[in-house]
Amino acid sequence: MADATETGEPLFSAKNRKTFKDPFMVNNPITLQVLGICSALAVTAQLKPSLVMGIAVVFVVAGANITISVMRKFIPGRVRIIVEMTVVATLVILVDQVLRAYAFEVSKQLSLFVGLIITNCIVLGRLEAFAMGNKVWPSFLDGLGNGLSYAAVIAIVGFFRELMGSGQVLGFKVVPQALYDNLGYTNNGLMVLAPGAFIILGLLIWVQRTVSGHLED
């Protein structure tokens, strides 16, 4: 693959902006490519873990994209997947260690799933599809865009699951107690279970494809 940008191209050229923006709508990793579903189901029962998970993924995807892009001309083709996995795993363990030192409470909630970022196909997918064939700056933008769009989707899923499943947002009660007492409103238990995430993701994909007019080939 040839380099996507010529030297001397402005940092925020139309092409670079497209690289950053595309993942949000046109080529969203979750709702269009349907990647990274496992973690999107696992951590989204509440909004807060979803947000922290989103930040962790942004860091890992962007960091791995930069690192691999820097080394892309030196990585022997036959072992590139192994090299990519090593870089990703290193970054993920770093995130995990830092969380444990500086955000102890959240890391306790997430510990298992932070480790699972290593197997998130979005990360490896971006390395293979973009960072191996592009310069550092566009690769960084691509990683940032994909990470943030993943974060945005799981934040939306987390928001609705927590709202409908527990009547809370970020741990604060938002559904008034009177609704439970007087109208017999109950939290939707299905929403805290994995199928709840499937349903919300399905609806999101439906909405997004209706808006963007995307059809499977």
Partner 1 sequence: MRSGPYTVVFVSTIAIVCSLLLSTAATLLRDRQDQNEALSKKENILKAFGVTKKMDGAAIDMFFTDHVELFAIDLEGNIDAEVDAAQLDMEAEDKKTEASSRRYPIYRCTIENEVIYCVPIIGRGLWSKLYGYLSLESDLNTVKGITFYKHGETPGLGAEIEKNWFQDNFLGKTINDQTGTFVSIEVVKGRAVDAYAGNEEKLSHAVDGISGATITSRGVTKMLHEDLTKYVPYFKQLEAN
Residues of this chain that bind partner 1 (CB under 8 A): 42-43, 45-46, 49, 74-79, 82-83, 86-87, 89-90, 93-94, 97-98, 100-102, 104, 108-113, 161-162, 165-166, 189, 192-193
C-beta closer to partner 1: residue 33 or 109 = 109
To partner 1, the closest distance from the beta carbon of 195 in angstroms equals 10
Q: Are 160 and 204 in contact (CB under 8 A)?
A: no
If phi > 0 it is left, if psi is from -120 to 50 it is alpha, else beta; for residue 170 that is left
* Least CB distance to partner 1 at residue 102 (A): 7
Q: Could you give the CA distance from residue 14 to residue 100 in angstroms, rounded to a whole number?
A: 40
**Residue position matching structure tokens 């690289």:** 19
β partners of residue 169:
172
DSSP-based three-state secondary structure for 89: helix
49 versus 147: smaller Cβ distance to partner 1:
49
> Least distance (Å) from partner 1 to the CB of residue 141?
24
Closer residue to partner 1 in complex, CB, 14/78? 78
Buried b / exposed e over 145-166, threshold 16 CB at 10 Å, is bbbbbbbebbbbbbbbbbbbbb
Nearer to partner 1, 126 or 161 (CB): 161
Show the CA angle centred on residue 150, arms to residues 144 and 156, nearest 5°. Answer: 130
CB of 194 to partner 1, least distance (A): 9
Which is closer to partner 1, CB of 42 or CB of 205? 42
In the complex, least distance from residue 213 CB atom to partner 1, rounded to whole angstroms: 35
- Spatial contact of 164 and 191, defined as CB atoms under 8 Å apart: yes
- The torsion angle over the Cα atoms of residues 153, 113, 144 and 197, rounded to 10 degrees, is -10
Strand 172-173 versus strand 168-169 pairing type: antiparallel
The CB-of-175 to partner 1 minimum distance in angstroms stands at 15
Is the Cβ of residue 23 or residue 165 nearer to partner 1 in the bound state? 165
